[in-house]
Amino acid sequence: MHTKKILVILAVGAVIGLFFVFWPKGNLRAPVAPKISGIEIFGPKEHDAVSSPLKITGRVNGNGWTGFEGQVGTVRLLDSNGNQLALGILTATTDWMALPTNFETDLYFDYPGDGQGQLVFYNENASGEPQRDKTFTLPVVLQKSSSEKTTVKIYFNNASDIDSCDKVFSVERTMPKTTLVARAALTQLLVGPTNMEKNAGLFTNINSGVTIQSLTIENGVAKVDFNQQLQEGVAGSCKVIAIRAQITETLKQFPSVKSVVISIDGKTEDILQP
């Protein structure tokens, strides 16, 4: 009898031991983001409450998710009815030619009340072949954004008037009010013209995949630093002048900005050379 009791105790102990070895660790009630091979979203997480401005960060690691000319894809923010609230470019923050590639983007949007939404990510399919398209959907909770709006101007070139390299034309963007209005305007400039604006002849000389690394405004001088992508493949003095004009005029719309200093990776000399 004594031997049987010992065997029972040992068996129970073994079961308990296996329980602790194989039972999942951590908070079982914590939301787990859906997994897909090739892309990982650092933030926001699945079912996170989001509001404007929304910063999105993550990385791609192959399986159709790769970089091309400084970006790794796009993302759309949709409401529960499938209406698009915002569109952003997934800009590479590490070497876009080396995997894994980190990325980020900022979305500015207006939403009247709390509700369900989703972020839909699209890969950078440089081939244009439909069979290579990849998507990834992340559900989020939309929070009411401020009813106050800010309207800014951003500047593009016009195909019908290309005689003057520094001549740029303004279009307006309306977004929820933000204290970082100059940065928001530049962010919109980097997104580029809408399809309607393109049809009207507007275009940008600024490369896709350009990121704002820093922006300060002091004593009337705006100093903005971009990544190397700003001058990648840029040739010709006219294009250099046009790029500078787009950035400068977008910033000089604000009364606090009298002049603009552009740098790339902290350097102001020997950049944007024709």
What is the per-residue pLDDT across 79-98, written as a single tens digit (0 to 9) for each?
999 998 988 889 888 888 99
Residue 42 CB contacts under 8 Å (≥ 6 apart), including other chains: 57, 58, 59
Q: From 191, 206, 190, select the one nearest 157 (Cα to Cα).
A: 206
Domain 39-142 sits in CATH 3.40.50.720: no
| 3-class secondary structure, 210 | coil
| Per-position pLDDT tens, the chain of length 274 | 455 554 445 454 554 444 444 444 433 333 444 456 899 999 999 999 998 889 999 999 999 999 987 889 999 999 999 998 988 889 888 888 999 999 998 888 878 878 999 999 999 988 889 999 999 999 999 988 766 778 999 999 998 776 788 899 999 988 777 788 999 999 999 988 887 888 899 999 999 888 898 999 999 999 999 999 999 888 889 999 999 999 999 999 999 999 999 999 999 988 987 7
The answer to whether the CB of 170 falls within 8 A of the CB of 202 is no
Rounded CA gap, 204 and 194, in Å?
11
What is the reported pLDDT for 43? 95
The pair of structure tokens assigned to 86 is 């915002």
Residue 234, phi then psi, degrees to nearest 5: -75, 130
Cα 195 to the center of its chain, rounded Å: 19
pLDDT number for residue 165: 86
* pLDDT on residue 13: 52
- Which pair of tokens denotes residue 89? 């470019």
Domain range annotation of the chain: 39-142, 149-264
Q: Among residues 116, 111, 60, which one has the least CA distance to residue 85?
A: 111
